Amino acid sequence: MIFKQRGIALLQALLITLVITVMAIGFSYNARDQVEIASDFVSRIEADLKLDSAKAEIMYWLSVENVSRFPLALSLPKGFNLYGKPFTIAEGVSIEIQDVAGLYPVNLFNRTTDTRWLNAIGLSNSLVEKAASELTKHKKQISNKNGWANNNDVKRNLQFLKHEFKLLGVPADIADIMASTATIYPTTYLNPLTMPDKLLPLLFEPEAVTGILEQREKGELTASNLRQVTGIYDYDNFFFDIQTYPMGIYKVNIHSVVNQIEVTRTLDLMLQPRVKPFVFLLQERNI
């Protein structure tokens, strides 16, 4: 009887020890999870603060320098560019600034020019035909007396173009390229100095594109160099007016990374050199 009681007591002690051990392990995991959650929360706050700081720096730079006055790439700070190539301004913070005048105004042209654009950015022949056809139908459906740029569904925000292009049935990666090279803002000219790398074949032959990319890599591309590299001194016969200065509307992407926590913010900015605020925020959204 005594041995049975001792056996029961031992079993109870083992069970209690097991329960306590399981609870301790659970508490340990919960504590670890709480620490990780708190750490991620702090990292997210730091990433957001870095975004705010970068946003303030870019807006200050645009308002002080008034880059719309300068047609030359040499007027930009080292590393800066206005053709959407990422550059770093602080640890873990990269920025893309795209002059809207360097983008294809998709709402202004017909199917023929749309086809030329789609070929230039590298779409296959089958995708070009499909996308150009669907674009034509889409623009007819939503057209009104004000044009696509004022349609309520689009709201003149470049970010919505990606969604619009995906509705055409093209693959997501192709829609990304289309959105990164096009605009629905009411532009009146194209600026080859600020055209994204992928869009340059719209205006230039492959040899000229290579020369432009080399000049950009050196940070030496100017309006004068552009004429020398391309051999083009007169754009009168082009399908659209060509100018070599920004138009004052910019698409800005700011990307921040802190301890593997990534945050991206998209801004649409417009310069107003004679009216305060000198830099007007058209759109802002976190992605």
pTM (2 d.p.): 0.78
Q: pLDDT category, 213, cuts 50, 70, 90?
A: very high
Q: pLDDT category, 156, cuts 50, 70, 90?
A: very low
pLDDT tens-digit readout, 73-94 = 445 677 788 999 999 988 899 9
In a domain, 228, yes or no: no
Residues 117, 96, single domain; the answer is no
Residue 154 scores a pLDDT above 70 = no
What is the distance in angstroms between the CA of the first residue and the CA of the last residue of the chain?
Answer: 72
Residues 78, 136, single domain; the answer is no
Calpha distance 103→189 (Å, rounded): 9
In a domain, 197, yes or no: no
pLDDT tens-digit readout, 15-46 = 777 667 766 666 666 656 666 777 778 888 89
Residues 18, 93, single domain; the answer is yes
Residue 62 scores a pLDDT above 50 = yes
What distances in angstroms separate CA 34 from CA 27, 37, 39, 42, 67, one per listed residue? Answer: 10, 5, 8, 12, 47
In a domain, 247, yes or no: yes
Determine the average pLDDT of the residues in 120-149.
Answer: 75
Residue 145 scores a pLDDT above 50 = no
Q: In this prediction, what percent of the chain has a pLDDT beyond 70?
A: 76
CA triple 52-54-59, angle to 5 deg = 95
Determine the average pLDDT of the residues in 245-250.
Answer: 84
Calpha distance 189→245 (Å, rounded): 10
Q: What is the pLDDT of residue 118?
A: 92
Full residue range of the structural domain in which residue 41 is found: 1-102+239-287
Residue 71 scores a pLDDT above 50 = no
Residues 14, 97, single domain; the answer is yes
Number of structural domains in the chain? 2
SS3 content of the chain, % helix, strand, coil (to 5): 55, 15, 30
What distances in angstroms separate CA 243 from CA 52, 72, 234, one per listed residue? Answer: 33, 12, 11
- DSSP run (H or E) holding 95: strand 93-99
Query: For position 37, which CATH number holds?
Result: 3.30.1300.30
Q: Which residues of 61-98 are buried (b: 16+ CB within 10 A; e: fewer)?
A: bbbeeebbeebebeebeeebbbbbbeeebeeebbbbbb
